[in-house]
Each structure stands twice: as C-alpha cells, then as structure tokens.
Amino acid sequence: MSILNGNLKSKVMVPIWIVGFFAVLVGGLSLQKFNSMINKGHIEKVRVLVESGVSIAEENHRLFKAGALSEAEAQNRARDAIRAMIFDGGARVFVFNEQGVRVVSNTRADEGTSAWASPHTQSMVKHALEGGGITYYRGARTLNGVTTSKNPKAAWSQSFAPWGWVVASAVYLDDVREAFLSRLIEFAGLFLAGAVILVLVVRCIVRSLTLPLERLTNTIVELANGTRDVRVSDTGLGNEIGDMARAVETLARFETERRELQDQLGQLAYTDQLTGLPNKEALHQTLSKVVQRASARNRECGLIVFDLDRFKTINDTLGDISGDEILKSVATRLKRAVGRRGVVGRKSGDEFFVVIPDLVKSGGLASLVARIRDKVVGPIDVAGTSVEIAISVGHAISPVDTADERCLVRFADMALHQAKNSGGNSVCAYSPDMSEAVETRFSTEAMINDGLRQGEFLPYYQAKVDLASGDVIGAEALCRWKRPETGLVSPTDFIPLAEETGQIVPIGNLMLREACAFAVECNSGRTTPFVVAVNVSPRQLMYGQFLRNLQQSLEETGCEPGWVSLEITESLLITDDGAVMETLNAIAGLGIEIAIDDFGTGYSALGYLTRFPISCLKIDQSFVRRIVDDPQQEILVRAILTMAHGLGMKVVAEGIESQRVADMLHAMKCEIGQGYLWHKPSPAKDFLAGLAKHPLMKIAS
C-alpha cells in the first residue's frame, strides 16, 4: 500500500524496477540468443552498406548508359565514391572483380592485386554470384599497434554484373559482442538512472530524424511529380541524413539537367538547324492539329510546298556556304510574306512548306500562293553574286482534297512534282488525276524492279549497213522489256521513268554486258571488226560506277574494246562539269568508239564536238526521213555530213526506210545506214538467222 500511496517518482520507478528486473532476468536467460540476433543485425547493416556501394555503381553505370560519362569515367567515379564510404567503427566497403582482383581496397596500393588465393575471397565471389550472401572467416587485426590473427569476421558480398564487380563489407564479431555487452550495461545504467530523461532524449532524437526524413520524402515526391528547381534542406548535416540529403540534392541536379537536355533535344527534333524554322517532324505535328481543328470548326486549311528551281546547280556552282545563305534568305522572305497567316517551315533540302490554318474559301489559297510567291522570287545577292531565284509550288486543301494530314502532304508533293515536271517556276494545285498518275508511276517502278529480277529486259539488235557495199558491219543494241502478261512494253513507257528513278543504271549495265557478249559472238572468226553499239544514259555514265562496270563487262565476256561503240546524247556534253570529260577520255583511252546519238535534236555546238573524244555522229531519223521531199532537210543533212567529215568523224544515218533515201545518203558520202529498209530490231538469235536468209544483206567478213 505504501507503494501505491507513494509519490509520482515512486510510482514511475516501481514499474521501471520491475520491468528492469524482468528485463535483466529475461536478458540473462536469452543472452546467447540475443547475441546471435545482434550479430545478424550487424550483418544486416553490412549488407545495407554493400547495397549502398552497389547503388553508387548503378548510378554511375546509368550515367554511362545515358551518354553523360564514358565507361572509364563512370567506373573511376564509382570507385572514388566507394573509397570515401567510411561508417561506424571505420567499416569500409571493398570491391573485387569476379576473378578476385582488388578494385577498391582499404589500402590504395593493394588495388589491382589479386586476392584469389584466399579461400574467403573465393567464398565472397561465389556468394555474390549466387545473389548475395554471408562469408564467415578469420582474419588479422591491428589494434593499438598490436596485430592479432584469426579474429572472427563476417562479410556480406553482392555482385554488380554490368561491370563484373563483387561489392563487400565485413564486421569483426568480437566488436559486435563487446559492443553488445557494453551497450547492455550502459543501457541498464541509463535506464535505472533516468528513464524520463531518456524518453525526452529519444523524443528529440526521433523528431530530429523524422523531420529531415519527411522533408527529404517530400522533396523526392516533388521530383517524381516533375517539379523543377527543387530545394533540398538538411544538406549541412554531418550524419547519414546529411549524406542522404546531399545525395538527393545531386539527384535533383542531375534530374534538372536531364530534363533541360530533354527539352533541348525535343527542340532540336522539331527545328531545322540551318534556318531555325520548324522541320518536317514539326510539319506533321502542326498539320495534324490544324486539320483536326479545321474539321471541328467546319473550316478549310491548306498546305503549300515550295521548291527552289535549279538549286542543285546553284549549290554546285557557288558552293555549300552560298547555298546555305540562299536557303536562309528564302526562309526569311517566306516568313515575311506569310506573316501571321500561317506556319512556315523547311521540309527538306531546298523544299519549304507553309501551313494555312484558316481558309475562308478554297479559291483564297490560290491567290494567297500567288502573293507569297511574288514576294519570294527574285534575285538574291550572295557574296557579290546576284542569283535569280525561281520556285515551283504545289498546294492542296483539307478537307476538299483529303481529311487526312499525311495524305494532304502527299497530295501537295504530287502537285509540286507536277509543277516541276511542267518546266518549273510554276504553281500547281492538286487534282485527283495526279493520284492516278502517281499510282501508275509507282506500279511501273515496281514492275521494272520485278522485271530486272525476272530477266525481262532483253537487247534487240538492228543492223548497221555500209551504204557503199551493202555489207552489215555492225548493229545497235536496243533495250526491250518483254513482260509475260502483255508482251513488249514501249521504251517510251519505261525509259524516262527509269532515268528518273535511277533504275536505268542496272538496266543499262545489263544491256552493256549483253552487247559485249553479242559482239564476241559476231566477231568469232572475222578479220574485220563487227561493232555493236549500245546506248548509255547520262545517269548511268555519271552515277553508276560506269567505268568499272564497262571494264568488268569487257573482261568477263572477252570482248575487245574495238568491238563496242557507246552512244551518248548531246545533253550530257552541254551539262559537263569536268567529270564528263574525264570519263569520256578514259573510255576513249580504252579504244572504245564514242558516238553522239540523235544528233541535231539537242544543243548541237561545234565547240563541244571539238572538246570531247567523239568519233561518230548519228543523224536523227527526223531529218533523214524527209530529205527526199524537203530541200531544207537535205541541205541540213549535207551540212552535218560536211561538218562531221571536216572534223574527221564518220556518220550514221538512222531511220532509213526506202532505197531512195539510202541512195541519196550514199551520194552525200554518208558511210553507214540503219533502218527498217534492211532490218527491224530483233533478239540476237533472230538477228543472226534473219541476216543469213535476207537476199539483200550479208555480214562482212
């Protein structure tokens, strides 16, 4: 009863003593078990230290993967951070690689040396590779200058696979036990001395811990929610919370830099770096929004595509720097001309686009295009040179032409293509028949590719006749496309498209090889050359590694250079930039004859004839067929013959269909004739068989 009537202190102390008595009793009985538990607690702490080391490695590996650091920089940074990790009692984190070589050691000089000979090192590596585990072993220890051996230790090891690291940390079990006993006695004394003070201290400690942790938690949540310029408190604390705060501050800085870089990359992804205008990606984004908004408001919107005429020629002539200045000037003119009525951007190369969000009526786009175009065309001064700018324009309207933004871009491009094909410097609006033409074009292009794979392109040969003797002295290889379903396809239906798409290069190379093989067959057992001519397109000659293919065809077929003649067009000579001269000289150097085909229909000029290694002219059939009835055509043909002979060239007249024309040309001293009078183009087998049976013709031997 005296206890119950005692003062508050007694009331507080009695249960404390009772609890203390039973605590000591229970503690004594379960000391061994509690000791084991405290051991596990220290092992857990060591494991946490190891995981911190692994986290450091992971963070630096992430920076390496993000491109912020090289791998070597990331590894060095991780090693420095792990070396700096010193925890209670001087505990450190050390690192091996999977072969037991020290990566981070308590002694810097030991790094790079092997610890594999030690069984506990092998055990740590083994446990780490199995997902992490504890290694118990005995090791040396130096305290107060005295070194003892076989001190019990426990280590936790864990693998960091990307770099092949084994991260570990260890604790001396003797320290654990001593600490346990010491803290137990201390705790009992402090508990008996002042439970109230302890409660107050604990409360203060808890608040000192929880408040910074709450602030850090709130900061991390703000970062996760995308908040920028986050301020991190408690970075000045000298404990683990301060370490955490500084780590969060570093993370916040990295996150801010990452987002700023992401914003910059996003801006770069949608901006043309030369002009500063929106680029092609921005076009699709902008146009998608504009089309949707116009549809929702029952309004119309337009897309205008501009292309600079002859820009490649200008760029090649003046250089890339001047070409860039022209593009920037055009961009400036476009922005001024469009103003706030639309969005101006650079689509690609020398193509620009303008998106018009609101059109009052469809007809308004055409007048707007005309006004914009008038303000863009005209001379631009570049490095003291005045360059006349002309543009081709195509435009389409949504939803009049299409309600789909990608189709709108395609339709505007079709209209631009039509404007370019009509000679350039013009404006064209989209019409449905353009889609049909494009579909036909794509279909034909696909069939050409299929025809190349299936071997549908064949050479047909037409005889060349010596007008003086009537002997067949050569032939011309003409490309024919024989489809299984429809038979022969007219050259006019596929040659221009093949020239444009570049498919003429494999077609031309095929014809060249076949002509060489045919020339070998025709020249077998002959004493005078039987020359097979083959047409070479400008694109094939300049962009298809022509010389290599020519030499390869000669070598693989065994054809002599004197058995082949190459026919080119005048347009190739007119547009010469020096490369044509070099290529033709190389061909002539091989001993191959070069002829100008369809002479008189292009840009004939004596200057070009004298500059290039031309040895033969082919008079176009449009002149030949009319020389009987048209005196002016006769005079023109005589002039060509006189000029060619004066330059030491021989002449071939093509398109001869009557004996009278052949006789007139022979009288004018034209050497060679070609036409239906003697022979229609036919496959190689039929060509040879037909010549053998024809009573008016024979192959010269």
Report pLDDT digits (tens) over 188-197. 676 567 656 7
User: 68 with 158, same domain?
Assistant: yes
Please count the structural domains in the chain: 4
pLDDT band at 166 (very low <50, low <70, confident <90, very high): very high
Whether residue 78 has pLDDT greater than 70: yes
pLDDT band at 144 (very low <50, low <70, confident <90, very high): confident
Q: Is 676 or 543 the better-scoring residue by pLDDT?
A: 676
Mean pLDDT value of segment 256-278:
69
C-alpha 429/C-alpha 419 separation (Å) is: 9
User: 323 with 365, same domain?
Assistant: yes
Position 205 in a domain: no
A 10 A CB-CB count for 64 gives: 19
Whether residue 549 has pLDDT greater than 80: yes
Mean pLDDT value of segment 309-327:
86
Among residues 395, 430, 465, the one where a domain terminates is 430
User: 409 with 545, same domain?
Assistant: no
Q: Is 43 or 329 the better-scoring residue by pLDDT?
A: 329
Question: What residues have CB less than 8 Å from 218, skipping those under 6 apart?
Answer: none
Give yes or no for a contact between 174 and 72, defined as CB atoms under 8 angstroms apart. Answer: no
A 10 A CB-CB count for 123 gives: 17
Angle at 463 between CA 527 and CA 567, to 5 degrees: 90
Question: What confidence score (pLDDT) does residue 700 get?
Answer: 47
User: 548 with 600, same domain?
Assistant: yes
- Which of these, 318, 441, 309, lies nearest to 386 by C-alpha position? 318
Whether residue 611 has pLDDT greater than 80: yes
The DSSP line for 132-143 is -EEEEEEEEEEE
Q: Residue 479 maps to which CATH number?
A: 3.20.20.450
pLDDT band at 535 (very low <50, low <70, confident <90, very high): very high
Q: Report the amino acid identity of residue 386.
A: S
pLDDT band at 696 (very low <50, low <70, confident <90, very high): very low
Among residues 167, 193, 219, the one where a domain terminates is 193
Whether residue 523 has pLDDT greater than 70: yes
Whether residue 398 has pLDDT greater than 60: yes
User: 501 with 645, same domain?
Assistant: yes
Question: What confidence score (pLDDT) does residue 32 get?
Answer: 58
Question: What confidence score (pLDDT) does residue 6 get?
Answer: 45
The mean-pLDDT minimum among 156-160, 316-320, 522-526 falls in 316-320
Question: What confidence score (pLDDT) does residue 312 get?
Answer: 84
Question: What confidence score (pLDDT) does residue 457 get?
Answer: 95
User: 571 with 627, same domain?
Assistant: yes
User: 687 with 560, same domain?
Assistant: yes
Give yes or no for a contact between 614 and 595, defined as CB atoms under 8 angstroms apart. Answer: yes
Whether residue 528 has pLDDT greater than 60: yes
Mean pLDDT value of segment 85-93:
70
Question: What confidence score (pLDDT) does residue 12 get?
Answer: 40
C-alpha 585/C-alpha 577 separation (Å) is: 14
Whether residue 699 has pLDDT greater than 70: no
Question: What confidence score (pLDDT) does residue 354 get?
Answer: 92
pLDDT band at 260 (very low <50, low <70, confident <90, very high): low
Q: Residue 392 maps to which CATH number?
A: 3.30.70.270
A 10 A CB-CB count for 620 gives: 18
C-alpha 700/C-alpha 530 separation (Å) is: 8
C-alpha 300/C-alpha 123 separation (Å) is: 75
Whether residue 265 has pLDDT greater than 70: no
Position 7 in a domain: no
Question: Does residue 589 sit in helix, strand or coil?
Answer: helix
* Pairing of the two strands 102-104 and 343-348: unpaired
Alpha carbons within 13 angstroms on the beta-carbon side of residue 266 total 7
Position 179 in a domain: yes
The mean-pLDDT minimum among 245-259, 400-414, 440-454 falls in 245-259
Q: Is 182 or 645 the better-scoring residue by pLDDT?
A: 645
Question: What confidence score (pLDDT) does residue 261 get?
Answer: 55
Q: Residue 48 maps to which CATH number?
A: 3.30.450.20
User: 111 with 179, same domain?
Assistant: yes
User: 242 with 118, same domain?
Assistant: no
Whether residue 255 has pLDDT greater than 70: no
Mean pLDDT value of segment 519-539:
92
* pLDDT tens by residue, 97-112: 989 899 988 788 888 8
User: 371 with 405, same domain?
Assistant: yes
C-alpha 75/C-alpha 691 separation (Å) is: 81
H/E stretch holding 476 reads strand 471-483
Most confident listed range (273-282, 370-379, 453-462): 453-462
- Which residue range forms the structural domain that includes residue 255? 210-268
Angle at 373 between CA 371 and CA 378, to 5 degrees: 120
As a whole number of Å, the CA-based R_g of the chain is 45
Question: What confidence score (pLDDT) does residue 632 get?
Answer: 92
* pLDDT tens by residue, 646-669: 999 999 999 999 999 999 999 999
Question: What confidence score (pLDDT) does residue 13 get?
Answer: 46
Percent of the chain surpassing pLDDT 70: 80
Mean pLDDT of the chain: 83
Statement: the pTM of the whole predicted model exceeds 0.85: no
Position 354 in a domain: yes
C-alpha 568/C-alpha 572 separation (Å) is: 7
Give yes or no for a contact between 352 and 376, defined as CB atoms under 8 angstroms apart. Answer: no
Exposed / middle / buried, residue 122 (Cβ in 10 Å: 0-12, 13-18, 19+): middle
Alpha carbons within 13 angstroms on the beta-carbon side of residue 700 total 18
Position 24 in a domain: no
Q: Which two tokens stand for residue 311?
A: 């820009």
Whether residue 8 has pLDDT greater than 50: no
Question: What confidence score (pLDDT) does residue 264 get?
Answer: 53
Sign of CA dihedral 516, 521, 527, 528: negative
E strand segments, 339-470: 343-348, 351-359, 378-382, 385-389, 391-398, 427-429, 457-466
User: 106 with 156, same domain?
Assistant: yes
Position 623 in a domain: yes
Question: What confidence score (pLDDT) does residue 403 get?
Answer: 87
A 10 A CB-CB count for 441 gives: 15
* pLDDT tens by residue, 286-310: 898 999 888 888 888 999 999 998 8
Position 14 in a domain: no
Position 567 in a domain: yes
User: 459 with 404, same domain?
Assistant: no
Q: Report the amino acid identity of residue 488.
A: L
